[in-house]
Amino acid sequence: MRLVRSAFSAAAILALSACSQSGTPTLSSADVLGTAQAIAALTRSAPTSTPSAVPAVPSPTVPPSTPTPTVTSTPKFPTAAPKYNVSVRSGPGENYPIVDLFLQGQTAEIIGRFDDSPIGTWWRVVRIGPGINGWVWSGAADVVGDTTAVPVLDAPAIPGQGRATATP
């Protein structure tokens, strides 16, 4: 900064000394250019007041807490989930009326079975969530859990026809 002031002072003194002479002062382009270059050189070499870098102090990092996994027990009863949207019937067979739909994504507890059907086992289900309980064909549902302890149930009467019988 001091050098810049000195350069400006020298330029001012030069200009004032030229004024004391008689007549109109005339500066040549070389004088103007030389003065400008001298000022530029002094400006470039002047010390700057750039602040020194302050080292960054790392802040203490607390690791995020990992939630403790909760233990979920395996259900004590088997469950069924439909492979596709399935009809829930009032009894174990296609000759029973449809009472509801068992939609993909829903689940039901299996509380009974009927094995004496021409197309295989039917599960007696109790819905977990909304829906009407009833019978679902085993081929249309995925089962989770052990079904060996599921009791075998008798088929209810077919509405308007009496009791269902097995077809050999």
Beta-bridge partner residues of 144: 79
Angle of CA points 19, 23, 30, to nearest 5°: 65
Asked if 93 contacts 122 with a C-beta cutoff of 8 angstroms, the reply is yes
pLDDT in tens, 58-79: 777 777 777 777 776 655 789 9
pLDDT in tens, 34-59: 888 888 888 777 777 766 677 777 77
pLDDT in tens, 4-27: 555 566 555 656 555 555 566 677
Length of the chain: 168
142's CB contacts (< 8 A; 6+ apart) are: 80, 81, 82, 83
Give residue limits of the domains in the chain: 1-16+29-47, 79-158
Angle of CA points 63, 69, 72, to nearest 5°: 175
Residue 150 clears pLDDT 70, i.e. is over it: yes
Nearest CA-CA partner of 89 in 73, 101, 74: 101
- How distant, in Å, are the alpha carbons of 40, 66, 148 from that of 143? 88, 33, 12
Residue 145 clears pLDDT 90, i.e. is over it: yes
pLDDT of 167: 46
Report the CATH number of the 79-158 domain: 2.30.30
pLDDT in tens, 76-95: 789 999 999 999 999 999 99
Rounded Cα distance, 7 and 35, in Å: 9
pLDDT of 20: 53
Confidence of residue 168 (pLDDT cuts 50, 70, 90): very low
Residue 57's identity, in one-letter code, is: V
Rounded Cα distance, 45 and 40, in Å: 9
pLDDT of 13: 62
Which DSSP state fits 131?
A: S
pLDDT in tens, 94-118: 999 999 999 999 999 999 999 988 8
